[in-house]
Amino acid sequence: MLKQMEGSVAVAEAVALARPEVICAYPITPQTHIVEGLGELVKAGKLQNCEYINVESEFAALSVGIGSSSAGARTYTATASQGILYMAEAVYNASGMGLPIVMTVGNRAIGAPINIWNDQTDSMSMRDAGWIQLFCETNQEAVDVHIQAFKIAETLNVPVMVCMDGFILTHAYERIDMPEQAQVDQFLPPFNPRQVLDPAHPVSMGAMVGPEAFTEVRYLAHHRQLQALEVIPKIAAEYNAIVGRDNGGLISTYQTEDAETLIISLGSVIGTIKDVIDDRRAGGEKIGCVAIRSFRPFPIAAIREACSKAKRVVVLEKCFAVGLGGMVASNVRMALATQPLPVYNVIAGLGGRPITQKSLHKLFDQAAADSLEGLHFLDLNHEIIERELERERLEGCSGAVAENILRGIGAVAASKV
C-alpha cells in the first residue's frame, strides 16, 4: 500500500511485518523514531507476540538480543554511531555465536568530535566483525531490505546490519509502498533455529575454544559470508517474486553498460549521483554508477564485472580510515587489483556535510580529465587546513584538533571577570 511517511516509521512498520518476537533497543540519534515507532506498535497491541524491552545501554541492548535469539526468538535491535561502538563486544559475540539478529544502523559519524549527522563510519567500524552489512539508497529500499534481512540472517545464521543514512533517510518523508502482511508471511517463514536453549534438548553454548579449533571456526564463518554472496541475490529474487520489487542483491547499477567513468558509492548519495549522471549523459558523457548494496560480504566478482569496461573508477565514500585513506576504496582496489585502471578515492559527506550536485559536477569534470588526486576530499576548506598546519608548524600543539582550529581563528578568548 502506498503511503507518504517518515523513513524511520516506515522501517518500524516493515520490521513489524516481519513478526519479530523480541525487540530491544537503546535510543540514540538518529535511530530514535524507529524504536519509538516499534515500541508504540507493541504497546498498542498492533504488534503482537512481541516483547519490547527498554534497556540501560547499547551493550545491554544487543546482549539481550543475544539471549533472546539463542532461546529461539526472532530478535531485532537498532543503533548508530557511539552506540555501535559501545556494543562492539556484543557485535563480535553475536556473529561468533551464529545468531540471526537483525539490526538497523542509522548511519552517523563517530566522535570525537561529537557529531550527530550522517556519515557511514559507524557501520564501517564493525565491517570485520562477521556481520552481513547491507546499505540502502532510499527508504523504499530500507523497507524491502529489512524484511529480506530476517530471511538472509535465518538462512545463514549470521546477523545482519541494515545501514541507512541518518537524518537523510531516517528523517525524510517520502513515498513508500508498504508490503502487505500476507506477502511478508509468504516470504518469511517462522524462525526455526537448529540449535536453541531448550530444557528438552540441553546444550551448552559459548564454550572457550582453544588453538586446536579456533582457526577452523573462523574459516567456517568466512565460508558462510561467501555463501551469502549467493544467498543474498537468491532471497532478493524470492522477495521480488512475491512483492514485485527488485530491491536487494549485492549491487545495483545505473547507466553502466558503456560507461567510461564509473562512480561507486553506497547509500542515499547514489540518488544525487544519478541526477548528475543524467545531466552529464545528456551532454554526451559516458558515465554511470554502481551502488554497493552488500558491503559485507564484499561483492568482489560483481564489482569486477561492473568495472570491466570502465576507463576509470571513482569511489565516493562517507567514511575514512585516518592514516590510510578510504575504507571502501581499499576494498574496491582489492577487487580491481588485476584491472589496470585508475581508482580515485573521494571522501565526501563526513559528519553530515551535504554532497551537492554542483560539487559532484566539478568532481566528475576532474575525474574525466584524470586530474584527480588518488585521495581527494570533496569540498575541503583548504584555507582552514593551511592556516592550522602553519600554526602547528610554528607552535606545535597537542589536544583536540577541533578546539585547536578555533584557537587558530581567534575564537578562543578568556573572559576577564
Partner 1 sequence: MTQLIDKKIGADSASGNQQVKFYQTGTYTVGNRLLDENQRTVQASLDRSNALDSGHRACQGCGEAIGARYAIDAVMRATGNQMIACNATGCLEVFTTPYPETAWQMPWIHSLFGNAAAVATGVAAAMKVKGKKAVRVIAQGGDGGTTDIGFGCLSGMFDRNDDVLYICYNNQAYMNTGVQRSSATPPGARTATTMPVGPEPGNVFGQGKNVPLIAMAHGIDYVATASVHDLHDLERKVTKAMTFRGSRYIEIFVPCPLGWGSKPCDTIKLARMAAECGLWPMLEAEYGELTASYKMRKPAPVTGYLKLQRRFAHLFKPGQEERLAGMQALADKNIAKFQLLEKGEQA
Partner 2 sequence: MFQVRIHGRGGQGAVSGAEMLSVAAFLEDKHAQAFPSFGSERMGAPVVAFCRIDNKEIRSREPVLEPDALLVQDPSLFNSVDVFAGLKRDGYLIINTTKTLEQLGIEEAASKLAPGRVWTVPATELAIQHVGRPSPNAGMIAALARACDGVLALDSVIAAIRKKFPGKVGEANVAAAQAAFDSAKATQSSQ
Rule CB under 8 A: say whether 116 interacts with partner 2: yes
Q: Is 322 helix (H, G, I), strand (E, B) or coil?
A: coil
CA distance 94 to 270: 31
Binding partner of 230, given partner 1, partner 2, none, CB within 5-8 angstroms per partner class: none
**Sign (positive or negative) of CA dihedral 115, 118, 122, 124:** negative
Question: HSE-up of 208 (CA within 13 Å, CB side)?
Answer: 1
Among 294, 184, 276, which residue's Cα sits nearest to residue 238? 184
Rule CB under 8 A: say whether 275 interacts with partner 2: yes
CA distance 15 to 2: 17
Least distance to partner 1 from the beta carbon of 50, Å? Answer: 7
Candidates 41-49, 216-224, 268-276, 320-328; binding stretch for partner 2 (CB under 8 A): 268-276
Taking the least distance from each CB to partner 1, the nearer of 34 and 90 is: 90
Least distance to partner 1 from the beta carbon of 147, Å? Answer: 20
Binding partner of 64, given partner 1, partner 2, none, CB within 5-8 angstroms per partner class: partner 1
Binding partner of 229, given partner 1, partner 2, none, CB within 5-8 angstroms per partner class: none
Least distance to partner 2 from the beta carbon of 277, Å? Answer: 10
Taking CB under 8 A as the criterion, the residue among 339, 356, 366, 404 binding partner 2 is: 356
Alpha-carbon distances, residue 293 vs 103, 237, 390, 408 (angstroms): 16, 15, 41, 41
CA distance 141 to 158: 21
**Residues contacting partner 2: total by CB under 8 A:** 27
Rule CB under 8 A: say whether 354 interacts with partner 2: yes
Among 8, 20, 313, 32, which residue's Cα sits nearest to residue 168? 8
Beta strands 287-292 and 251-254: pairing type?
antiparallel
CA distance 166 to 106: 5
Taking the least distance from each CB to partner 1, the nearer of 60 and 116 is: 60
Q: What cell numbers appear for 227 in the block?
A: 555463501
Rule CB under 8 A: say whether 219 interacts with partner 2: no
Q: How would you label 361-389 residue by residue, b for 16+ Cβ within 10 Å and e otherwise?
A: eebbebbbeeebeeebbbeeeeeeeeebe
Strand (E) or helix (H) holding 404: helix 401-408
Alpha-carbon distances, residue 46 vs 73, 89, 134, 136, 187 (angstroms): 18, 33, 28, 26, 20
| Contact criterion met (CB below 8 Å) for 35 and 62 | no
Least distance to partner 2 from the beta carbon of 270, Å? Answer: 8
Taking CB under 8 A as the criterion, the residue among 67, 72, 111, 271 binding partner 2 is: 271
**Binding string, 156-175, against partner 2, x = CB under 8 A?**
---------x-xx--xxxxx
* Interface contacts to partner 1, rule CB under 8 A: 21-22, 24, 49-51, 53-57, 59-60, 63-73, 75, 89-90, 93, 97, 197-199, 201-210, 213
Q: What cell numbers appear for 163 in the block?
A: 545501514
Least distance to partner 2 from the beta carbon of 252, Å? Answer: 12
Least distance to partner 1 from the beta carbon of 161, Å? Answer: 18
Binding partner of 325, given partner 1, partner 2, none, CB within 5-8 angstroms per partner class: none
Taking the least distance from each CB to partner 2, the nearer of 250 and 348 is: 348
Taking CB under 8 A as the criterion, the residue among 82, 256, 272, 331 binding partner 2 is: 272
Taking the least distance from each CB to partner 2, the nearer of 173 and 214 is: 173
Binding site for partner 2 (CB under 8 A): 2, 4, 6, 29, 116-117, 138, 165, 167-168, 171-175, 268-272, 274-275, 354-358
